[in-house]
Structure 1
Amino acid sequence: MTEGRVLKGVEFARTGGPADRPLLLDLYLPEPAANGAGTRPAIVHFHGGGWRAGTRSSLGPVTDGFGLTPFEALAEAGFVVASADYRLSGEAVYPAQLHDAQAAVRWLRNHAADYGVDPTRIYAWGDSAGGHLASLVGLMSGDSPVAAVAAWYPPTDLNRMGEQALPDAVARATDPGSREEQLIGAVLAEEPQKAAAASPVSYVRPGAPPFLLVHGTADRFVPAAQSETLAAVLEKAGADVELLLLDGADHMWSLPDGGPAAAEKALAATVGFFRRQSGIP
């Protein structure tokens, strides 16, 4: 990417409260159109890390290790990309994370003219915990709607994650002190209503935006059944949904041979999906 086309550490909101601090995002900007006219579609990305770790510059250590530079790839395809941080569960429990994600989308829409963004073509994308947030942003009504969602291995139904876990799961939502329990600040079995309130499947409705769900069949952290569950509910509601299951891929697209094939397929599918949604040839 051309030097100077990435704007790092842009403040999009503040957390408020006694520990008030800025929330930041990085902007990846495509080259200006040859004729200098027209607006661009935009994608707001939310990182993974189990809601308790991770940063806006990363798609997880394994995926980062493949050297695919997804943000730059999408910018080169013609999208403005905003990768946003949000409060982690050690700082605040849900729905703080959703509020921050919505604030990032709202900021980009309010500043669309500053960065040549078409406010009707703003999309959400996330991986793992970030895919969960992107899905919620897409499904919940409010003043920060998005036109389409892509989610990589997202948690979608917290109450069913434990029962859907693979036999060789590394982590289960029902484990004491699990990432999911830290997110909602409660034991899932004791507070199923809180788990449901933090689950994208609870908000599927007619008129939901198009979805792309990409998941590895060997995911030991977030079972692929989570994406299958959301896809089925979306389809039943009449939504446009694409489900891509990558055989043998674990979380962060890890394969037994250590190669990048699954990550490459996921990225290509994501670029293609957003191109189709935005009308970019």
Structure 2
Amino acid sequence: MGAEAFPPPDLELLEDVTFSAHGLRLDVLRSHQRSAEPLPAVMHIHGGAWVMFGKWPVANVFLARAGFVTVSVDYRLAPDATFPAQIHDVKTAVRWLRAHADTLGVDPERIGVWGISAGAHLAALLGTTAGHPGLEGLDGGWEDQSSEVQVVGNVGGVMDFLDPGMLFGPEPFPLFGAPLAGRPDLAVLASPVTHVAGHCAPFIHLHGRNDEHVPVSQARRMHAALKAGNACTELVELEGDHFINETHQDEVERRLLAFFRRELAYAPGVPAGWSSG
């Protein structure tokens, strides 16, 4: 049986749009139907241990079919580019999205982000570090725009590089270009849990209890830190491993969609500002 054609006939794909001075590209996936009102947008950040893969608009089909304008982005990969290049790039993508909100029919005050594994780590940093001077990467472009996001979906991401549950060996860690023990400064800077203070975006965490790559303690630590800071946070633990986006795809997508609809105040055919109560 052949693979399903992409994009599906009910969706429109704007492919390989350059968004960064570093030559990085993104894809926009959205409905063919146009709304008279600006729509919320959701950006997907791909996984791959920060060292492989690229933008993956297929992951956003369920959101685009629900009426969101969706974006899937590339970022510079380790070890050729070390941290903080990756967060610089995805912040540039958010700024690009805001700069083109009118053209895309997007509400610039309703932007969500989600990712799986390495992508979830970067999504969580977006949700906790708006305006952080060391993490903005303004050389990427669109420096007159904000990189703030309004909601975060974390599917199996590293939230704390100093968590004893994370087993890092003495070999160089590609994201940092050095053994983790040799760069505690980067371990702290790159940990979303470090930045949970003041205003944070609402979070939903989906994590497999049997994850041997990124232990569930990561999601629990981040959830606890956000709760302690009175931020909106929801933790969902599933009976699975690191690949719950595949083994539990329907439930992961259902929960993400419900969370984004609620936190971005959006349901098809319902005016912006709608709330379920």
* TM-score range normalised by the length of the shorter chain: 0.7 to 0.9
- In structure 2, the residue matched to 1:86 is 75
Q: How does 1:128-139 map to 2 (within 5 A)?
A: 128-139=117-128
How many residues are paired up?
Answer: 246
SS in 2 for 1:243: strand
Structure 2: how far apart are the matches of 1:3 and 1:279?
Answer: 23
SS in 1 for 2:205: strand
SS in 2 for 1:201: helix
Aligned partners of 1:31 and 1:76 also within 8 Å = no
TM-score, with normalisation over the residues of structure 1? 0.83
Structure 2: how far apart are the matches of 1:274 and 1:110?
Answer: 22
- In structure 2, the residue matched to 1:250 is 241
Tell me, yes or no, if structure 1 residue 204 matches structure 2 residue 196.
yes
Any gaps of 5 or more consecutive residues in structure 2? 1-7, 132-145, 268-277
1:4 to partner: Cα distance = 6.5
Identity %: 38
1:108 to partner: Cα distance = 0.5
Structure 1: how far apart are the matches of 2:255 and 2:171?
Answer: 34
Structure 2: how far apart are the matches of 1:52 and 1:277?
Answer: 31
Aligned partners of 2:170 and 2:180 also within 8 Å = no
- In structure 2, the residue matched to 1:279 is 265
Q: Deviations over 1:103-154 (max 9, x none)?
A: 0000000000111000000111111100000010111022200011111001
Q: How does 1:155-194 map to 2 (within 5 A)?
A: 155-160=158-163, 163-165=164-166, 172=167, 174-177=168-171, 181-194=173-186
Aligned partners of 2:113 and 2:151 also within 8 Å = yes
Counterpart of 1:128, as a letter, is S
Structure 2: how far apart are the matches of 1:31 and 1:235?
Answer: 39
Compared CA separation, residues 96 and 4, structure 1 to 2 (3 A): same
Q: Deviations over 1:70-98 (max 9, x none)?
A: 41110010101100000001221000000
Compared CA separation, residues 101 and 189, structure 1 to 2 (3 A): same
Structure 2: how far apart are the matches of 1:54 and 1:226?
Answer: 23
TM-score, with normalisation over the residues of structure 2? 0.84
Moved more, 185-194 or 115-124: 185-194
- In structure 2, the residue matched to 1:239 is 231
- Match for 2:151 among 148, 152, 158? 148
Structure 2: how far apart are the matches of 1:253 and 1:125?
Answer: 14
Structure 2: how far apart are the matches of 1:4 and 1:42?
Answer: 15
- In structure 2, the residue matched to 1:46 is 45
Structure 1: how far apart are the matches of 2:81 and 2:188?
Answer: 18
Structure 1: how far apart are the matches of 2:36 and 2:182?
Answer: 56
SS in 2 for 1:120: strand
Aligned partners of 1:70 and 1:267 also within 8 Å = no
Structure 1: how far apart are the matches of 2:191 and 2:151?
Answer: 18
Moved more, 186-195 or 231-240: 186-195
1:261 to partner: Cα distance = 5.2
- In structure 1, the residue matched to 2:215 is 223
